């Protein structure tokens, strides 16, 4: 299906014509990897001397997905233990599916794990109409709400990065992931040496995990669950303390209000649980694995995502609100391609709505490839 | 010698010491202290002079106090302190026992931590800035600023994370700090705590990097006395380790040698000993060779694991699976079929 000639041809045309592929800085120190159509696994430990060699390889190999390490290595082509890690850029991944939005079931299509039969969106328990199988993989075609949800998270992350961490907005590169989320690349060398543990602490900060009650002044009375309030000497003026203080409407000048809140909640433990709930809700939902992995290969900006045929494109932070991934990241051509739909499916791409109920259809390449990549159609 | 010292003191302008001499007494590891020695044309052979006996005695005492886990907190004039520090380094190098060096380096770091915390609290803005840029900037490449009111110190987020993420306490997680505009705001004691380990590492590496010339007799003799005095601390304890599982045996051997045992291995050792019913006092004693041993803290931690302090959760011995993932398993064929170290030896009977 994904290995179909039509999809590969569209990808080849893209890499031949497009100039969107971004060669990373320090390219010769990066490890590259790519996946091939119809072949499981990934070709890794590659290295390129320059942008020319990279694009030539893309045109020649036409990979289904292209990745590049956020790490810099002395010897990027050697096995992992021998590469000699020299640091890694700070990266973040916001994935729409981690937001668990309520709209998702209404645009998810079950594809039978046993026979590959695709069915329309479900309201009841799944059973494959073709083979009766009960297990399915779900393919989602993100809706406007999903994209809005991811954008909100992205905007919140920008706020944390520029406000709390003081990273200049010019150094925050935001990309649409090419499917259902956003990627961040931080261009700030001072983050490069941080190890996985330090990045994990940073993820905890951004995600709102691990704030102790004492940080906002609530302390446990020895030997009981009672609490007393004594604000930290450093105050509540910045960062998470400020966020929590604003949410609970407390100020460092008087302990009365906070003392009452803790009492209302039912003591130290109950307040702690409530605090944890508040901070997690206010934190950003980033994938911790991506940020803490300092040897990761991450999708290369400007390349195509084989889960959708959309491009990982740069998104201007100032114009995030008006960014439309289904137009801005939809970069494939419009040559007509005949497809056989596996089920009734709909999507909106480049401003056109494709609501395909019939079995066979002739669609512009960008739409045909989108449905084929999603596993909802195959080449006719 | 003393005349030469005095000449240097009186002619202070010729030294590029921007810090006060009191600072040099408290922080003899600063580059300026070395500069002072160079300018006073100090030579190794001078340590054999009779008037150096006091310095050598002080140095020996300082090492002994440090190795016992306490902080040597006496401070004399800076000439004495700089020389004493130098002599301690030479002695520790010549004792040539890694555990002694580690404990000594940590004790020196604690001593500096104590002085630094005090100084940062009481000095005026200009003095504080000089001290910060000297100690944090020159030694650790760390830029530290202060807030306008001078109450708090500012450390870059990346500098903070690189250090704090290795601390276990929740309060060091960045979310529990005041963070804004790329800076983490810390109190004086917290700022100093952030670099304490590095100071120990610095002292450690200085000793490692030293190449000893033929030692003056006075130092050689004193170092030999110390070596003998300190050695018994690292002999095997009376407990026969034969019936313990190999993972526990290994941890005990490392501990008995006075080497550093990772946190996870300490947890295994303590929970295992609790599980076989060893009394807390004896378990605490098992950790006395740890380079960072503090009886009060160890006792609390053991009692915490036993469920009698803190969260009141009783911790059990980690499973063999868990220990394997932490590289703490040293299984032998006697371990066949067990899934937890506490089962060792039971199945065979």
Model confidence pLDDT, tens digit, residues B93-147:
988 888 889 899 999 999 988 888 888 887 777 777 777 777 888 888 888 888 8
Of residues A163, A167, A201, nearest to B174 (C-beta): A201
Note the pLDDT tens digit of each residue in B147-165. Answer: 888 788 899 999 999 999 8
Question: Backbone dihedral region of A121: left (phi > 0), alpha (psi from -120 to 50 degrees) or beta?
Answer: beta
The mean pLDDT value for B265-293 works out to: 88
ipTM associated with this complex: 0.91
CA distance B279 to B317: 16
Buried b (16+ CB within 10 A) or exposed e, B281-304: eebbebbebbbbbeeeebbebbbb
* Cβ partners under 8 Å of residue B292, min gap 6: B106, B260
Which residue does chain A place closest to B177, by CA atoms? A215
Q: How far apart are CA B249 and CA A236, in angstroms?
A: 49
Rounded mean pLDDT of A166-180?
96
Give the side-chain half-sphere CA count within 13 A for A208: 21
Using CA atoms, how far apart are residues B205 and A173, in angstroms rounded to an integer?
40
Q: What does residue B7 show for φ and ψ, rounded to 5 degrees?
A: -60, -40
CB contact under 8 A, B178 and A233: no
A191 interaction partners in chain B (CB closer than 8 Å)? 158
| Cα–Cα distance measured from residue B336 to residue B349, given in angstroms and rounded to the nearest whole number | 13
Tokens of A288: 């911790």
Return the closest-CA partner of residue B146 out of B138, B136, B159, B155: B155
Q: What is the dihedral of CA A247, A250, A255, A261, to 10 degrees?
A: -40
> Is A238–B179 a contact, with Cβ atoms under 8 angstroms apart?
yes
Per-residue pLDDT band for A71 (boundaries 50, 70, 90) equals very high
What angle is formed at CA B238 by the lines to CA B233 and CA B243, rounded to 5 degrees?
Answer: 125
Computed from CA positions of residues A285, A289, A290, A292, in that sequence, does the dihedral angle turn out positive or negative? Answer: positive
Position B7 confidence tier, pLDDT thresholds 50, 70, 90: very low
DSSP string for A42-109: EEEEE--SSHHHHHHHHHHH--SEEEEESEEESSTTS-GGGS-EEEE-EEEEEEGGGG--TTGGGGEE
d(CA B308, CA B306): 6
Q: Write down the pLDDT at residue A123.
A: 63
∠ CA A268-A273-A279, rounded to 5°: 120
CB A198 to CB B162 under 8 A? yes
B176-221 residue pLDDT tens: 999 999 999 998 889 888 888 888 888 888 888 888 777 888 888 8
Q: Are B228 and B165 in contact (CB under 8 A)?
A: no
Nearest to B183 among A166, A197, A210 (CB): A166
Whether this model's pTM surpasses 0.90: no
- Residue B234 has, within 13 A of its CA and on its CB side, a CA count of 19
**In sequence order, what are the residues at sequence separation of 6 or more whose Cβ sits closer than 8 angstroms to the Cβ of residue A329?**
A176, A178, A310, A311, A312, A313
Report whether pLDDT(B83) > 60: yes
Catalytic site residue from A188, A287, A293, A324: A287
The average confidence (pLDDT) of chain B is 82
Residue B60 and residue B76: Cα distance in Å, rounded? 15
Question: What's the average model confidence in pLDDT over A233-255?
Answer: 89
Q: Which of A159, A166, A167 to mutate to test the interface with B (most CBs of B within 10 A)?
A: A166
Using CA atoms, how far residue A202 sits from A6, A209, A288, B133, B335, in Å, is: 43, 10, 10, 26, 40
Q: Is A351 exposed, middle or buried (0-12, 13-18, 19+ CB in 10 A)?
A: exposed
**Which of A189, A193, A201 should one mutate to test binding to chain B, selecting the residue with the greatest count of B CBs within 10 A?**
A201
List Cβ neighbours of B138 (8 Å cut-off, separation of 6 or more): B30, B31
Higher pLDDT, B45 or A149: A149
Backbone phi, psi, residue A292, to 5°: -85, -10
Name the pLDDT band for B260 (thresholds 50, 70, 90).
Answer: confident
A129 shares contact with chain B (CB less than 8 Å): no
HSE on the CB side for B274, CA within 13 Å?
A: 22
Chain CA centroid to CA A242, Å: 28
Contacts of A166 in chain B (CB under 8 A): 157, 180-183
Answer yes or no: A276 catalytic: no
- Enumerate residues 6+ apart whose C-beta is below 8 A from A98: A285, A287
B176 and A214 in contact by Cβ < 8 A? yes
Angle at which helix A268-282 crosses helix A256-265, to 10 degrees, equals 100
Confidence class for position A34, pLDDT limits 50, 70, 90 = very high
Mean pLDDT of A58-74: 96
Give the closest of A194, A211, A215 to B162, CB-based. Answer: A194
Contact in structure between B57 and B84 (CB atoms under 8 Å) = no
Interface touch B179/A198, C-beta < 8 Å: no
What residues contact residue A147 under an 8 Å CB cut-off, 6+ apart? A96, A180, A324, A325, A326
Please indicate whether residue A189 is annotated as part of the active site: no
Quote the pLDDT of residue A113.
85
Whether A95 is a known active-site residue: answer: yes
Specify the DSSP element, H or E, that contains A196: helix A196-207
More confident residue, A42 or B198: A42
Cα–Cα distance, B9 to B15 (Å, whole number): 9
Burial of B336 (0-12, 13-18, 19+ CB in 10 A): exposed
Read off the pLDDT of residues A157-169 as tens digits, 9 standing for 90 and up.
Answer: 999 999 999 999 9
CA B327 from centroid of its chain's CA atoms: 25
């Amino acid at each position: 299906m994904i290995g179909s000639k039509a999809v590969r041809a569209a990808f080849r045309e893209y890499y031949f014509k497009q100039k969107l592929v971004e060669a990373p800085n320090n390219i010769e120190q990066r490890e590259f990897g790519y996946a091939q159509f119809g072949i499981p696994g990934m070709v890794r430990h590659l290295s390129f001397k320059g942008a020319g060699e990279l694009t030539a390889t893309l045109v020649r190999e036409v990979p289904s997905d292209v990745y590049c390490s956020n790490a810099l290595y002395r010897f990027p082509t050697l096995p992992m233990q021998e590469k000699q890690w020299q640091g890694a850029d700070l990266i973040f991944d916001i994935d729409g599916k981690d937001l668990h939005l309520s709209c998702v079931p209404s645009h998810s299509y079950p594809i039978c794990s046993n026979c590959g039969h695709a069915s329309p969106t479900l309201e009841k328990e799944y059973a494959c109409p073709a083979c009766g199988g009960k297990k399915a993989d779900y393919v989602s075609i993100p809706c406007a709400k999903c994209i809005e949800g991811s954008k909100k998270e992205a905007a919140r992350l920008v706020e944390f990065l520029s406000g709390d961490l003081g990273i200049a907005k010019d150094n925050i590169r935001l990309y649409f992931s090419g499917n259902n989320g956003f990627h961040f690349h931080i261009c700030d060398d001072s983050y490069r040496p941080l190890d996985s543990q330090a990045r994990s602490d940073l993820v905890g900060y951004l995600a709102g995990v691990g704030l102790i009650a004492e940080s906002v002044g609530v302390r446990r009375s020895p030997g009981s669950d009672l609490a007393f309030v004594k604000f930290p000497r450093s105050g509540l003026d910045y960062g998470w303390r400020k966020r929590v203080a604003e949410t609970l409407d407390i100020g460092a000048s008087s302990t009365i209000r906070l003392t009452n809140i803790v009492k209302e909640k039912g003591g130290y433990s109950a307040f702690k649980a409530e605090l944890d709930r508040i901070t997690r809700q206010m934190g950003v939902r980033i994938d911790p694995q991506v940020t803490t992995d300092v040897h990761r290969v991450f999708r290369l900006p400007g390349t195509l995502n084989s889960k959708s045929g959309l491009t990982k494109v740069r998104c201007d932070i100032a114009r995030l609100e008006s960014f439309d991934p289904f137009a801005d990241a939809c970069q494939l051509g419009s040559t007509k391609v005949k497809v056989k739909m596996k089920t009734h499916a709909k999507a909106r791409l480049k401003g056109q709505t494709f609501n395909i109920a019939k079995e066979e259809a002739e669609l512009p390449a960008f739409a045909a490839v989108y449905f084929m990549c999603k596993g909802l159609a195959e080449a006719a | 010698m003393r005349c030469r010292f005095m000449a240097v003191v009186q002619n202070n302008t010729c030294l590029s010491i921007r810090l006060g001499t009191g600072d040099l007494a408290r922080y003899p590891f600063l580059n300026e202290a070395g500069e002072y020695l160079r300018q006073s044309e100090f030579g190794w052979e001078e340590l054999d002079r009779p008037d150096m006996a006091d310095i050598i005695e002080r140095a020996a005492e300082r090492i002994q106090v440090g190795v016992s886990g306490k902080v040597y907190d006496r401070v004399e004039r800076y000439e004495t302190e700089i020389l004493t520090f130098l002599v301690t380094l030479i002695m520790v190098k010549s004792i040539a026992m890694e555990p002694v060096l580690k404990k000594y380096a940590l004790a020196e770091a604690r001593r500096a931590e104590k002085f630094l915390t005090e100084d940062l609290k009481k000095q005026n803005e200009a003095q504080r800035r000089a001290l910060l840029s000297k100690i944090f900037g020159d030694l650790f490449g760390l830029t530290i600023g202060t807030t306008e009111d001078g109450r708090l110190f500012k450390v870059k987020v990346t500098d903070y994370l690189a250090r704090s993420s290795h601390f276990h306490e929740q309060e060091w997680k960045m979310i529990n700090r005041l963070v804004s505009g790329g800076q983490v705001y810390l109190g004086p004691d917290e700022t100093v705590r952030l670099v304490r380990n590095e100071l120990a590492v610095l002292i450690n590496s200085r000793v490692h990097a030293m190449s000893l010339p033929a030692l003056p007799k006075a130092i050689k003799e004193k170092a030999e006395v110390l070596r003998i005095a300190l050695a018994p601390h690292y002999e095997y304890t009376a407990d026969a380790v034969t019936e313990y599982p190999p993972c526990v045996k290994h941890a005990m051997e490392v501990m008995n040698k006075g080497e550093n045992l990772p946190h996870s291995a300490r947890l295994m050792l303590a929970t295992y000993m609790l599980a076989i019913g060893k009394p807390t006092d004896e378990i605490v004693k098992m950790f006395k060779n740890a380079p960072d041993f503090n009886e009060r803290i160890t006792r609390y931690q053991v009692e915490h694991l036993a469920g009698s302090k803190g969260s009141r959760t009783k911790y059990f011995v980690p499973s063999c699976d868990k220990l394997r993932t932490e590289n703490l398993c040293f299984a032998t064929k006697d371990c066949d079929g067990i899934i937890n170290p506490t089962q060792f030896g039971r199945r065979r009977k």
